[in-house]
């Protein structure tokens, strides 16, 4: 059969399987007009099984293929060159808090009223909103009258989402202006140092975004980013806390977070399994922030010796005994040689305790390889499991990260090679439902 029929069949079959996997009641919530659907993390809706997540994501992959099949090729190509319109539109909608303005007007609002409330031009605001409604973000109930839907409600204030979306779209999104200049500059193209990266090039200062945002003149951007972190963390952290078995080394296992930053993830893991012993390691200057997180979330835990805060560089030999050494978002900041140095620092601990593991939590760069003999198969067949979930989303995300953070995102094969260089192998690969994976490392004997 041709690609069109194969893809259509794949979507139809998966739709049936998904309805069974979710159950009729949850499947009825696969809808943009409800508050929350089955995949939105609403505790009132039964959590979808792994099978349901996989089916839903495979269907999305097939739908993208179907869109490509059905779109005239000139238009499909042109669409890519206009894609920045979407980023700008969502950034502007977040900036003006359009979702909140609609709610304040009773749940539906004319664009004239919205423009008055936002103190902007109604015609331009209509253009912004129509770019979004065409992608099912907000809904136009009658000409020029807009309401929220399931997706635009994400932009309601109070949880940091509009701040984070605006920051991503309009601040870190600037980095894209610098990507081509970096990629054509022989002195910078191979560097993974944020000071040589696209963001630095775009803002014209040799600083990555984490340094740039600390400059006094960028105080407002920093405040916005900080406001958005809880929203982002809650979405991502949920996967880490619930999709990995943190009790597998026993209820009182020792979990050591190397480069723990604010300690947000460990504090959530501790909340889920209070008996775990948590060790937060970071540079000395960061630990007051980590302590603050735990003081609020687990008062008295440090005094009861349930949580330790240790100033330790992950380039120094690890002297703390633990069952698991957790490195989240660390390796992608470093060259292969530096990653090998970091991994070597823990090897002595794993030699003494072979049950202990190094847990690497990173985006695993996705790809969609379509071999010649399989070119008429639905796209979902090509999305392998040993990569970040949500192929389309994580493909965009790894490019966004490359542009705004620099560093080096790696594929599964690249990780395997890197770990082998450091004397480790992947004992287990944990595919999380959103964006990242946990690779569990053991020493090669």
Ligand X SMILES: C[S@@+](CC[C@H](N)C(=O)[O-])C[C@H]1O[C@@H](n2cnc3c(N)ncnc32)[C@H](O)[C@@H]1O
* Residue 320 binds ligand X (CB under 6 A): no
d(CA 31, CA 150): 8
Rounded to the nearest whole angstrom, what is the least distance from the CB of residue 282 to ligand X in the complex?
Answer: 5
Which of 329, 344, 367, 381 contacts ligand X by CB under 6 A?
A: 329
* Residue 440 binds ligand X (CB under 6 A): no
Which of 4, 20, 315, 374 contacts ligand X by CB under 6 A?
A: 315
Rounded to the nearest whole angstrom, what is the least distance from the CB of residue 242 to ligand X in the complex?
Answer: 16
Q: Judged by CB, which is closer to ligand X: 121, or 316? A: 316
Size of interface with ligand X, in residues (CB under 6 A): 14
At residue 293's C-alpha, the angle toward residues 288 and 296, to 5°, is: 120
| DSSP 8-state code for residue 143 | T
Q: The tokens of 263 are what? A: 């300690």
Pairing of strands 108-110, 254-258: unpaired
Which of 152, 286, 380, 387 contacts ligand X by CB under 6 A?
A: 286
Rounded to the nearest whole angstrom, what is the least distance from the CB of residue 313 to ligand X in the complex?
Answer: 4
Closest C-alpha among 207, 206, 197 to residue 177: 197
Rounded to the nearest whole angstrom, what is the least distance from the CB of residue 129 to ligand X in the complex?
Answer: 34
φ/ψ of residue 430, rounded to 5: -110, 110
Rounded to the nearest whole angstrom, what is the least distance from the CB of residue 304 to ligand X in the complex?
Answer: 24
Interaction mask 73-102, ligand X, x per CB under 6 A: ------------------------------
* Residue 330 binds ligand X (CB under 6 A): yes
* Residue 282 binds ligand X (CB under 6 A): yes
Give the three-state DSSP class for 281: strand
Q: Which residues within the stretch 345-374 sit at the binding site for ligand X (CB under 6 A)?
A: none
What is the residue whose two structure tokens read 């839907």?
149
Rounded to the nearest whole angstrom, what is the least distance from the CB of residue 342 to ligand X in the complex?
Answer: 8
Q: Judged by CB, which is closer to ligand X: 111, or 268? A: 268
With contact defined as beta carbons under 8 Å apart, do 146 and 109 qualify?
yes
d(CA 328, CA 310): 17
Q: Judged by CB, which is closer to ligand X: 60, or 310? A: 310
What is the residue whose two structure tokens read 């005239």?
72
| DSSP 8-state code for residue 194 | G
d(CA 201, CA 381): 39
With contact defined as beta carbons under 8 Å apart, do 277 and 254 qualify?
yes
* Residue 261 binds ligand X (CB under 6 A): yes
Q: The tokens of 393 are what? A: 């989303």
* Residue 328 binds ligand X (CB under 6 A): yes
* Residue 259 binds ligand X (CB under 6 A): yes
With contact defined as beta carbons under 8 Å apart, do 228 and 209 qualify?
no
Give the three-state DSSP class for 387: coil
Q: Which residues within the stretch 146-165 sit at the binding site for ligand X (CB under 6 A)?
A: none
Which of 166, 323, 333, 440 contacts ligand X by CB under 6 A?
A: 333
Rounded to the nearest whole angstrom, what is the least distance from the CB of residue 438 to ligand X in the complex?
Answer: 12
* Residue 234 binds ligand X (CB under 6 A): no
* Residue 384 binds ligand X (CB under 6 A): no
Closest C-alpha among 146, 86, 135 to residue 112: 146
Q: List contacts with ligand X (CB under 6 A).
A: 259-261, 265, 282-283, 286, 313-315, 328-330, 333
């Amino acid at each position: 059969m041709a690609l069109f029929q194969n893809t259509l069949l794949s979507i139809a079959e998966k739709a049936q399987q998904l309805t069974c996997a979710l159950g009729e009641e949850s499947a009825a919530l696969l809808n943009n007009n409800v508050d929350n659907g089955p995949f939105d993390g609403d505790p009132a809706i039964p959590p979808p099984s792994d099978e349901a997540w996989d089916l839903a994501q495979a269907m999305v992959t097939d739908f993208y293929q179907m869109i490509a099949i059905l779109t005239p090729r000139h238009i499909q190509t042109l669409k890519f060159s206009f894609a920045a319109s979407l980023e700008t539109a969502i950034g502007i909608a977040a900036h003006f808090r359009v979702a909140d303005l609609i709610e304040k007007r009773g749940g539906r609002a004319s664009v004239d009223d919205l423009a008055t409330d936002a103190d902007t031009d109604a015609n331009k605001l209509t253009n912004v909103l129509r770019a979004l409604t065409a992608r099912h973000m907000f809904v136009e109930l009658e000409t020029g009258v807009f309401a929220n839907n399931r997706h635009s409600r994400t932009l309601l204030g109070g949880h940091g989402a509009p701040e984070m979306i605006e920051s991503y779209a309009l601040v870190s999104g600037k980095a894209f202006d610098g990507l081509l200049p970096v990629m054509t500059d022989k002195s910078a193209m191979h560097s993974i140092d944020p000071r040589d990266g696209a963001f630095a090039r775009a803002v014209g200062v040799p600083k990555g975004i984490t340094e740039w945002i600390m400059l006094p003149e960028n105080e407002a951007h920093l405040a916005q980013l900080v406001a958005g972190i809880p929203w982002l963390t809650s979405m991502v952290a949920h996967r880490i806390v619930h999709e990995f078995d943190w009790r597998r080394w026993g209820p009182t296992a020792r979990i050591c977070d190397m480069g723990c930053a604010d300690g947000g993830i460990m504090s959530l893991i501790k909340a889920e399994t209070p008996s775990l012993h948590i060790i937060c390691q970071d540079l000395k200057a960061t630990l007051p922030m980590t302590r603050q997180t735990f003081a609020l979330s687990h008062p008295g835990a440090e005094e009861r010796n349930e949580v330790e805060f240790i100033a330790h560089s992950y380039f120094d030999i690890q002297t703390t005994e633990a069952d698991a050494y957790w490195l989240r978002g660390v390796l992608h900041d470093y060259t292969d040689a530096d990653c090998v140095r970091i991994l070597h620092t823990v090897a002595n601990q794993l030699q003494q305790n072979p049950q202990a593991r190094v847990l690497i939590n990173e985006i695993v760069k996705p790809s969609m390889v379509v071999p010649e003999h399989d070119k008429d198969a639905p796209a979902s067949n090509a999305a392998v499991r040993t990569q970040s979930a949500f192929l389309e989303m994580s493909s965009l995300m790894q490019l966004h990260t490359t542009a705004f953070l620099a560093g080096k995102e790696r594929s599964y094969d690249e990780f395997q090679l890197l770990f082998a260089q450091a004397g480790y192998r992947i004992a287990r690969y944990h595919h999380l439902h959103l964006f990242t994976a946990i690779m569990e490392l053991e020493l090669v004997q």
